[in-house]
Amino acid sequence: MNEVWAVCLERGDERRLAALRGFAGLEVAECGPALWLLARRAASSMEARRLSEGKPVSTLADASGFHAFMNQQGDGDEALDLALRMLPGKRYRVLADGQLVAEGQRVPRGWLPEAPWTPLAHWLHVKLPAAALPGRIGRRVALQLVRTTDEQRPTAMMTTLDAWTEYCTSAAEVRLRPLAFAVSDDRRVVITGAPLPPLPGDRFVVCDGVAIPCGFELQPRMSGPLLRGLLELDHGDVALFAADGTFERMAHDQWVAANRAAARATAAAFGERRHD
């Protein structure tokens, strides 16, 4: 017996699905203003019995049944659970007849839309352009990076995906908890937070969402809100400057909380893409 979950997203959130391309059994359907993601897995014999009796899989009394259920399955499903929970939108359990049960609820409300379903990896290949650092190379602006002798404490860094994944595998969770990361299509990783991991790479100072290489400052100086407006940054976006004055804009919804599961899921996704 299969356990099926669905997530309903709004248009404009397509890029959020790219982080899930390495997971098997995921399908996408386009339904007007909404995107639906379907996740399938085989239920254990005990889970199948409970489902056939109309009972919830999780026996927890709180509203985190999906989280508890997925975490029983080990590292792979834990990573998928984490990736799904990072998506905006509402999650549902899908019954055998297509009725939807919202996460944490027991009574069905609504139906899974009748639409053509496409494997996620294929849909992403068709729909999404190749990504840069979850943003784009920005145009040159009327700003200049100049050397400074001011002492600066780095609060962001850029390293490789391999180095970051290896670090996450061995580091204590308490070291990862203050950090967040974003990954580029060419396997660069930008990490923010403090303390930063002791990895090779470039380091930056982040102020008001603008990341400047250590040892530099922007001229002319201006207030944070004015600078963000000039760079056309939305709330939560980060502009990462290079020494040549170009910058990459990383959207707020591309950042992922640092933990082992997220690092493994990201590495797995990029490993899958190497074989596409």
Q: What is the residue-wise DSSP string for 42-54? A: EPPHHHHHHHHTT
Q: What is the pLDDT of residues 179-215, one digit of tens each?
A: 999 888 888 999 999 899 999 999 999 988 899 999 9
The domain segmentation of the chain, as residue ranges, is 2-127, 144-274
3-state secondary structure of 78: helix
Q: Pinpoint the alpha helices (H) of the chain.
A: 45-52, 65-71, 75-85, 120-127, 161-170, 173-176, 224-230, 260-274
pLDDT the model gives residue 176: 92
Closest CA to 250 of 174, 191, 166, 177: 191
Between 22-31, 120-129, 176-185, 194-203, the lowest mean confidence (pLDDT) is in 120-129
Query: How many Cβ atoms are within 10 Å of 266's Cβ, its own excluded?
Result: 24
Percent of the chain with pLDDT over 90: 20
Q: Name the token pair of 238.
A: 């980060």
Contact indicator for 180, 191 with CB cutoff of 8 Å: yes
Residue 192: predicted pLDDT: 92
pTM, two decimal places: 0.50
Backbone angles phi, psi at 202, to 5 degrees: -90, 145
Among the residue ranges 61-75, 109-123, 221-235, 246-260, the one predicted with the least confidence is 61-75
Using DSSP bridges, classify how beta strands 238-241 and 210-213 pair: parallel, antiparallel or unpaired: parallel
The pLDDT tens digits for 88-106 are 788 898 898 889 998 888 8
Mean pLDDT of 221-230: 79
* Tokens 């248009």 found at: 11
Q: 14 near 127, Cβ under 8 Å? A: yes
Note the pLDDT tens digit of each residue in 40-54.
754 444 434 444 444
Among the residue ranges 51-55, 146-150, 153-157, the one predicted with the least confidence is: 51-55
Average pLDDT, the chain: 75
| Residue 138 predicted with pLDDT over 50 | no
Task: Report whether 180 contacts 106 (CB < 8 A).
Answer: no
More confident residue, 246 or 127: 246
Q: What is the pLDDT of residue 77?
A: 58
User: For 18-32, 128-142, 181-195, 201-215, which range has the lowest pLDDT when averaged over its residues?
Assistant: 128-142
